[in-house]
Chain A
Amino acid sequence: MSYLKDEHYIERVLQGDHSSYAMLVERHKDMVFTLAYRMLKNHEEAEEVAQDAFLKAYSSLKKFRKDSRFSTWLYRIVYNLSVSQLRKNKKQTQSLDDDQRPLDLEDTHQKMDRLEQDDRRKFIQQALDSLSYDEQTIITLYYQDDLPVGEIADITQMTTSNVKVKLHRARKRLHAQLGDILKQEINSLL
């Protein structure tokens, strides 16, 4: 089956075929849910925010200007809804200080390679949880949706230089946390 662009389904929805919206939901649900989940760190809340984001996007589809991608526009909605939810929950919304610990990437790689895939995934998730919500958003969009820094800045309403700084900080913190988790794990086994 040929791959049809988002714009094709958007046109169909705008012409009254609302069932075409299911294709857009199916295509973007994992990324939308991942963004909400990484920011909120709660499955139920993330699912609710992801649903709200799709409904809001549907209601505002007429206003969607095609100068940006549908996914970028949708992620901006998810990001804003998640930030509002965080404010409601009064959770920590500020970035943490820069992590100055030295990193040993080679050592982390060697330790990770010795683990089973499920364990590796679990430890990476734990390390990701230690990042602030905006760092998680940036690192997720950059590495898991291959978005350029400019588009991430558009979604998060930050400057591109700010996104670059946070991205670098997020990488360092992720590795430092991963190193700590692996060290603790090895110590607990000994």
Chain B
Amino acid sequence: MSKQNPNDLDKSTRRWMGEAGLEKPSTDFTNLVMEQVEKKPRLYPYKRGGNLFNTLLAVLVPIAYFAYNYMSGGSLLPGGFNLQTEAQPYVRVFQIVTEKVALDMSTPLVPLGIIAIVALLAFDRLILRSLSLNR
């Protein structure tokens, strides 16, 4: 007798397909594929894009600098470049950082911290190490 309820057909097909399972390729399948993959050139799409971007930057930034210099009333040629004036902001930042470090060093916590580290190192080298060697 014909019993072709679509749901029953679907259920029993799922069961039979589950029982059939998947076929297995040879045990060295992955190695065989990877051997051939290693012969192929590696894929570096991001690096290629990055190189193009860096090259563009290297060309455009100096042009933009001299164009800005010229438009602000300066000279277009590097002859108008004044090292003392250009370096001033960087020298100022260096001075601020140095002053800040010197100020921090003047508080008692920093020398105390340094003394503690030296003491720990001395304890490790002189006492702990000799104990572990004697064991």
Contacts and interface: CB of A to CB of B under 8 A. Distances in A.
Interface string B19-49: 1111111100110111011101011111100
B43 A13 contact: yes
Interface stretch (A70-78, A84-92, A99-107, A149-157): A99-107
Give chain B's interface residue range (CB within 8 Å of chain A): 35 or more
Contacts of A106: 3
B20 A124 contact: yes
Contacts, number: 121
Given A143-B14, A143-B17, A55 B33 contact: yes
A33 B29 contact: yes
**Main SS of chain B's interface residues?**
helix
B30 A62 contact: no
Contacts of A18: 37-38, 42-43
Contacts of B24: 30, 33
**Main SS of chain A's interface residues?**
helix
Contacts of B16: 112, 124, 127, 174, 178
Contact of A171 (B9, B30, B33, B40): B9
B108 interface: no
Interface in B27-79: 29-30, 32-34, 36-38, 40, 42-47
A165 interface: no
A71 B42 CA distance: 21
Given A21-B37, A22-B30, A62-B45, A33 B23 contact: yes
A37 B20 CA distance: 13
B1 A105 contact: no
A96 interface: no
Contacts of B46: 14-15
B18 interface: yes
Interface of B: 1-4, 6, 8-10, 12-14, 16-26, 29-30, 32-34, 36-38, 40, 42-47
Interface of A: 13-16, 18-19, 21-22, 25-26, 29-31, 33-34, 37-38, 46-47, 50-51, 54-55, 58-59, 61-62, 102-106, 108-109, 112, 117, 120-121, 124-125, 127-128, 139-140, 143-144, 168, 171-172, 174-175, 178
23 contacts: A15-B46, A16-B42, A19-B34, A21-B34, A22-B33, A29-B25, A29-B29, A33-B25, A33-B29, A50-B29, A51-B33, A54-B37, A55-B40, A105-B4, A108-B12, A109-B12, A124-B19, A125-B20, A139-B13, A139-B17, A144-B22, A171-B10, A175-B12
